[in-house]
Structure 1
Amino acid sequence: MVQNEIDWDAANAELASHGRGGIDAKTARRSSDPRRSAKRDSAGWVNDIGDPPPGIAKETLSPEILDQLRLSSITGVGPRIMATLLERFGSASEVFRGDTDAIVSVPGIGPKLYNEIKLESRGYDLDAVVHWCMNHDTQILVKDQSPYPTMLDDLVDAPPILFCRGELLPEDDIAVAIVGTRHATSYGLKQAERIAYSLARAGVTVVSGLARGIDAAAHEGALSGGGRTIAVLGGGLAQMYPPEHGGLAKAIAADGAVLSEHPPMTKTKGGLFPQRNRIVAGLSMATLVIEAPDRSGSLITARLAGEQNREVMSLPGPVSSRVSRGCNQLIRDGATLVQSVDDILEALGPMRSPVETSDGNQVHRPSELKLNEIERKVLDAIETTSTSIDQVIQTCELPTHQVIAIISVLEMKRLVQRMSGQNVCRI
């Protein structure tokens, strides 16, 4: 397997993180940005793309973050063991101070792993990891500390550490994963890009795995739509795979994020992809599968999404197409059939908590993202408790007939429901 390795000791340029404005502003910015028109190649991941902010200096990391890095680096300490240790001891520093009986009493830890912890028998060079992050503008995100994504809280084996190039924003909680085969047809590639573009235009973040085929088309579609996209790698950030996606990764990090749970030098290998898939599903309110044969890894992502109580969706394909068999089977088994972005937004339920979008609106359901200005105004005037239509009319200062018509539209979009009398409430 060919790797595009980065020389750790080389003074490579850091990757700049750029702020995000509204959709229209970003689209205009991208259209005039020479970085967007440059050919994306494998070297793009390490090329300078502007004046970068300073990287992470080791002294700026809190002692607890460094201790969590130390703990996660120990051979045999995976996400579940680490979560159990942190829950039992309260912090990584207390784990290292713990006595033999206390540590060995933790489920899953025997004498051998205890010795690994006490000896700090590491699977990687901690100083080298921090040095690489410092020199490549890479954030080290620690679970339960912002900006670690709260969408991963539902995972029983959520990664304790994430390495991030780019930036995660609160609005990334409104996200849909698009996954599929690496050996996509022209139909599949076109549909992945079309749907990702439409999701981006609606303000939904697109999540995928940066693989060849459907993944890459989804990222490209989101970028073309002027929206945000998140790529989750199977290996480390210093090991771009596939190597030709370095330029695409750079473009994603400029207005989104590229993530990995593994130290930067970790080489990509087959066994890491199922681990990656749980993060792709976990970051997303729904997972959409576009072209997947019977044993596609994308079906693993769909299964993991279902296990996490997230929506599973599928784009239908010809019954004669080998790469659509998995998709058609998902639909047969109950996945939501998707033909357009409206199917996705309508199927998504309420957010766990309202999310503020880049234009300042509080979104309770993803389907609200496609409302026009007047529809938004009427919806904002309706409470989650019974609200009289007269009160809505008075608040909006709109003609009665217009408010009633818009309420009917919102009702069809399943955003409001009529109550007894002349009352409505927000769902």
Structure 2
Amino acid sequence: MTDTHDLRDWLVALRTPGLGPGGLRELLAEHAGRMSDALAVVYRQPGNAGEAARRWLEQPDEARLAEDMAWLAQPGHRLLRCTDEDFPPPLETIPQPPVALFVAGDAALLLHPQVAIVGARRASPAGLGNARAFARALGQAGLLVTSGMADGIDGAAHLAALDAGLPTVAVVGTGPDRVYPRKHHALAQRIVAGGALVSEFSPGTAARADHFPRRNRIIAGLSLGTLVIEAGLQSGSLITARLAGEQGREVFALPGSIHNSLARGCHRLIRDGARLVEEPGEVVEALAPAARALGSELALRLSAPSATTAAPAAAVDGGRHADPQYRRLLDALGHDPVPLDELVARTGQPAAELSSMLLMLELEGRVGTLPGNRYQRLAG
């Protein structure tokens, strides 16, 4: 349980002028993760943060902090901090990793192996069709589709996953309580209900041009690979692809007609070393080793005596076999392969919640995954 005073310290820190993720992480490392001690140092010695930081710490905007706390008090809302055990491991290895994320929905999904699907906002009908087909197939193969909830390719990928009964993750360039573009209000609600909406920015933060490259580094960082479907030469999707490459992640691109200006960005990526792909199976095959490595890392973390995850408390404290929800899920699995939608029907639990539980069981070696988003109970 997060201490209220400690949570308030984090909210104060995230709004402190001149104190970015890098500075906060350095201070936390120096003070054993204690945010109150880190802020005390900034107040006494503003340093690079500047006098604006001292003034804010001396008299923070209590109305804004109250709004932050009110947002976090809502069901399914969370501040996922870099000091939490279930902070996504892939984000720890990227340049300029975020110090905390506001999450609406199922934060446990951020531990799943993810693939980013990005592309043009003004995509062609063919591009939108490819986004839907790849998102559905990759999700059914066990890769969580992650994107930026933008118009065009992003939105099509999110919708395809949700329409297939699969979770999806949206990383946004606004506060977690804002929707951009506004036309995606209904989509945002569906993502929160069947996946997770993630933001590095405090509630109330409006869209700004410089927020989107920051958002893009998180999309790329959460994902094992980034797939670009249609992009002009000036597309923001190329920024995401570049960041993915710099982070050591796989970059994939769909080729297109030489007469289509939206194919030029993908062709440039391919010339620069991105993998040319024509079908989802090629992406799945390329990312399988990284997905296995991520699973092994999470399994080690879960087996540590101090490990905690977003799983129910009873599952952590008494073993998942002692939790009624997990017992019901294992009974529903039986011993034959079962697709996720059938498990939803058998248990009456949401697909996103079942996906998180199945991940935990898979990491324990009690459940195996099969093609077609199917699961099978293993002996033992």
TM-score by length of 2: 0.74
CA distance 1:170–1:243, shift in 2 (3 Å): closer
Q: 1:168 to 1:319 in 2, by over 3 A?
A: same
Q: Conserved in 1, the CA contact under 8 Å of 2:118 and 2:153?
A: yes
1:323 matched to which residue of 2?
262
1:198-225 Cα offsets, whole Å, 9 max, x none, are: 0111121000000100000100111122
Q: Greater Rg, structure 1 or structure 2?
A: 1
Question: Displacement, 1:150?
Answer: 2.2
1: distance between equivalents of 2:231 and 2:103?
28
CA shift digits 1:305-331 (9 cap, x unpaired): 111111111111111110110001111
| Residues in 1 aligned to 2:373 and 2:206: alpha-carbon distance in whole angstroms | 46
In structure 2, the CA distance between the partners of 1:329 and 1:124, relative to structure 1 (3 Å rule), is: farther
Mean CA deviation greater in 261-270 or 155-164: 155-164
Offset of residue 362 of structure 1: 4.5
State the shift of 1:155 in Å: 2.5
Work out the CA distance in 2 between the residues paired with 1:369 and 1:171: 21
Q: Which residue of 2 aligns with 1:213?
A: 152
Question: After superposition, where does 1:150-161 map in structure 2 within 5 Å?
Answer: 150-161=89-100
Bigger Cα displacement from structure 2, 87-96 vs 190-199: 87-96
Mapped contact 1:163–1:263 kept (Cα < 8 A) = yes
The counterpart of 1:98, out of the listed 21, 41, 62, is: 41
8 Å contact 1:292–1:326 — kept in the other structure? yes
Q: Count residues with an aligned counterpart.
A: 315
For structure 2, the 5+ residue unaligned runs are: 300-354
Q: Which runs of 5+ in 1 are unaligned?
A: 1-58, 382-427
Q: Which amino acid aligns with 1:253?
A: V
**Counterparts of 2:69 and 2:129 in 1: how far apart (Å)?**
40
Structure 2 letter corresponding to 1:73: R
- Equivalent residue in structure 1 for 2:19, among 70, 77, 85: 77
Matched, 1:243 2:186: no
Instruction: Output the CA distance in 1 between the equivalents of 2:259 and 2:39.
Output: 58
C-alpha displacement of 1:140: 1.5
Contact (CA 8 Å) 1:129, 1:264: kept in 2 or not?
yes
Structure-2 separation of matches of 1:233 and 1:123: 25
Distance in 1 between the 2:160 and 2:173 partners?
21
Mapping of residues 269-348 of structure 1, within 5 Å: 269-348=208-287
TM-score by length of 1: 0.67
Tell me by how many angstroms 1:152 deviates. Answer: 1.1
Q: Give how far 1:371 is off.
A: 8.5
Structure with bigger helix share is 2
SS of the aligned residue for 1:125 comes to helix
CA distance in 2, matches of 1:167, 1:277: 20
**Residue equivalent to 1:67:** 9
| Contact 1:209–1:232, Cα closer than 8 Å, also in 2 | yes
Q: Percent identity?
A: 37
Q: How does 1:15-34 map to 2 (within 5 A)?
A: none
Using the alignment, how far apart are the partners of 1:74 and 1:171 within structure 2?
26
Displacement, 1:110? Answer: 5.8
Name the Cα RMSD after superposition.
3.1
Residue aligning to 1:8: none
What is the rounded CA distance, in whole Å, between the counterparts of 1:117 and 1:372 in structure 2? Answer: 49
Partner of 1:28: none
Q: Secondary structure of the equivalent of 2:107?
A: coil
